[in-house]
Amino acid sequence: MVDSRASGSLWRSVRSLPEFWRLLELRTASQFGDGLFQAGLAGGLLFNPERAASPWAVAGAFAVLFLPYSIVGPFAGALLDRWDRRTVLVAANLARLVLVISVAGLLAVGAGDMTVLCGALILNGFSRFVTSGLSAALPHVVPPEQVVTMNSVATATGATATFLGANFMLLPRWLFGSGDTGAATTMALVAVPVAIAFLLSLRFPRHQLGPDDTARAVHGSVLYAVATGWLYGARAVAATPTVAATLSGLASHRMVFGINTLLVLVIVRHTDTARVAVAGLGTAVVFVAATGGGAFLANICTPMAIKRWGRYATANGALACAALIQLAGATLQLAVMLGCGFLLGLAGQMVKLCADVAMQIDVDDALRGHVFAVQDSVFWVSFILATTLAAGVIPADGHSPALALSGSAIYLVGLAAHAIVGRRRQRGI
């Protein structure tokens, strides 16, 4: 009964914020498209019987897809604090629509992996730009006292949409096949949610989503703002211990997630090759779904944990628990790894939500886009670095308990960094 009343109260709170509701609809459509695109790309390249994928190929695919934008992201993030964020969202979604159709065409004609990945790279950059813009804009449509709760609602909604999009991909793959033609058809379907996201982004009035022109705004030419994007973003992170601490913890989680992802993909691909196109992809999707399920639960638990223990203790506890959970994953039994994936998704998302709240509350709006872009870089560079290093030592069948155990050590390093840096400034928010 209490849970029912609490859910009803939260629903009324969300519905009482019409502009936040619009932002939520935009995030839902956008991230459903992201999930469908990422899963469709994985199916089209990694689990395609017409193509091959070694551990190095998997790591290379991740690097090509995420590393370039992760490097230039903080430069581009300056535009979120320079231009009307509503205009940026409209332009980025329109670019995504064009690029989705282009990538589908490349798959249809059987273009090489690198060509497809380059197209996907550019599309992914615009997608990350949209996600960072939505996060930076949230404080403009939510009262300050509701930022923690509504950020969790937005993150949970986006994670659910991504999960549904990734799983929806299995239907067209089953209907149209796992080869290049089927992959192209699946990719073409991504255009639908992306087009919806483009239309939804048009509904906001100009300048409603920020940025504010505060005393800390970066003035000068657009070229100067972009060229110094990394510098201002890094300075803002360094000057805000709550952000620097949680980003260090988030980096450790993403490194371990990269190791675990490669382990699962290689173990799955080492199974019967006649079934890998169907069973292998299904297992990989289940692993991602388990991690996403844990992350979804974190969106419910984190506001309560922060209210009771504060952000500092919540993130410390999550990282300590993650180090213990990773030990169980060293068995390399897929069933156990799925369970660990769920729990690690829960712990890692709690750290990320603490980071999001720190950036939305403790960082000036004139630099918030810069900092969210830095977070996005940390998020993906950590993942790619760990995946690449793991690809160099992982055996052909993927069974490396030592590699899995190294994840616990990485979590402990992240915990130490978070505890030391975050101690400089603790708040009970």
pLDDT tens profile 6-42 = 556 777 888 888 999 999 999 999 999 998 888 887 7
Under 8 Å between Cβ of 421 and 241: yes
Domain membership of residue 337 (yes or no) is yes
With pLDDT > 70 as the criterion, what percentage of the chain qualifies? 83
Domain membership of residue 162 (yes or no) is yes
Domain membership of residue 351 (yes or no) is yes
Higher pLDDT, 48 or 62: 62
b/e for 374-394, b at 16 or more Cβ within 10 A? bbbbbbbbbbbbbbbbbbeeb
Position 47 pLDDT exceeds 70: no
Predicted confidence (pLDDT) per residue in 312-345, tens digit? 999 999 999 999 999 998 888 888 888 999 999 9
Retrieve residue 59's tokens: 């790591």
C-beta neighbour count of 187 within 10 angstroms: 30
Domain membership of residue 324 (yes or no) is yes
Domain membership of residue 3 (yes or no) is no
pTM: 0.73
Higher pLDDT, 167 or 381: 381
Retrieve residue 405's tokens: 């155990």
Rg (CA), the chain: 21
The values of phi and psi at residue 123, to 5°, are: -60, -45
C-beta neighbour count of 272 within 10 angstroms: 8
CA separation for the pair 402, 41 (Å, rounded) = 30
Q: Which of 51-65, 134-148, 172-186 has the lowest mean pLDDT?
A: 51-65
Higher pLDDT, 24 or 272: 24
Retrieve residue 411's tokens: 């979590």
Domain housing 351: 20-205+219-422
Domain membership of residue 247 (yes or no) is yes
C-beta neighbour count of 339 within 10 angstroms: 16
Number of domains in the chain: 1
**Residue in the block written with tokens 């709760």:** 149
Higher pLDDT, 276 or 15: 15
pLDDT at 75: 67
CATH code, domain with 87: 1.20.1250.20
Domain membership of residue 333 (yes or no) is yes
Domain membership of residue 304 (yes or no) is yes
